[in-house]
Amino acid sequence: MISTKGRYALRMVIDFARQGEEACVPLREVAERQGISVKYLEQLASLLIQADILRSVRGPHGGYVLIRPPEETNVGDILRAAEGSCAPVACLEADFGICPRRSECETFSFWEGLDKVIEAYVDGVTVADLVPAR
Amino acid sequence: MISTKGRYALRMVIDFARQGEEACVPLREVAERQGISVKYLEQLASLLIQADILRSVRGPHGGYVLIRPPEETNVGDILRAAEGSCAPVACLEADFGICPRRSECETFSFWEGLDKVIEAYVDGVTVADLVPAR
DNA sequence: CTTATATCCTAGTTATTTACTAGGATATAA
DNA sequence: TTATATCCTAGTAAATAACTAGGATATAAG
């Protein structure tokens, strides 16, 4: 299940996109509009910087800027950055290693299939699709 | 994310199906084959009984029996019975109520769409699809 | 150079959930 | 009567979730 990390990160990015291309938006404003604390948003923003989705500007009039236009950022990238993974089961995650029951497990391919439809969906939607037209 | 409840419940049902139609299988055997404790399986079995997927026979030579043939039980029913829900976000779950931000939330329809592709996938696979042919 | 405003970074904290285990009650075939 | 099952309720240790707290660092403006 997607936790507040992924959900808030997505709302934050959409909020940035709404303020216009290349806008430099401080978290204080996002926090107010979205009803999420600045401190929590800071942590999520840092994950999005690591994933090359945002860049930051420090000091007064500083804030965060989307690196790419909304059409070129898909939701899957945001969720994977915030959540670590969108995999529906632990055995599909990168750091899980190879399950010792893998060869005899009748369910593994089922979970792989579920993962595929999830990835296809989240990677098929861009931030631009979620920003309401003005 | 799907927890051990859903994953083990699915493996248990597939294990029942492998023992043949209408077979009455005690959890002791499933536990041994699957490497899961009887005590934990008991709890999962009771969820599957409530969902009309299994019925039980008490006493010696007792066990559990699949109510319908494997072709007629889909994986979605098993997962929803074990996990409570397959919804990817809390705001889509039945007991969450209506989110106060719902009307202004730009992400709600995105999550609804994700939920739809997940439900379509899990409801499109039956237990029979996962039982290896003998 | 000072001040206000931001981001940056690390820790700590509380509540919930997960993944079980434990102990017994109840039913029933032999 | 006994052995073998399911049934039912609690309890518990560990992990995760969802934050909060406190300060360090950078920088524009006066």
- pLDDT tens-place string over residues A24-75: 999 999 999 999 999 999 999 999 999 999 999 999 999 999 999 999 999 9
Instruction: Name the percent of chain B lying above pLDDT 70.
Output: 99
Residues of chain B in contact with residue A19, where contact means CB-CB under 8 angstroms, are none
In this complex, the residue of A14, A107, A118 whose CB is nearest that of residue B118 is A118
- pLDDT tens-place string over residues A64-94: 999 999 999 999 999 999 999 999 999 999 8
Across the interface, whether the CB atoms of A107 and B125 are under 8 A apart is answered no
CA→C1' distance for A39 and D23 (Å): 13
Chain C footprint positions (protein CB, under 7 Å) = 4-11, 18-23, 26-30
* Partners of residue B123 on adjacent β-strands: none
For B43, the token pair is 């709890």
pTM across the whole model? 0.95
- pLDDT tens-place string over residues B78-91: 999 999 999 999 99
Across the interface, whether the CB atoms of A7 and B89 are under 8 A apart is answered yes
Q: What share of chain B is helix, strand, coil (3-state, %, to 5)?
A: 55, 10, 35
Tell me the residue length of chain A: 134
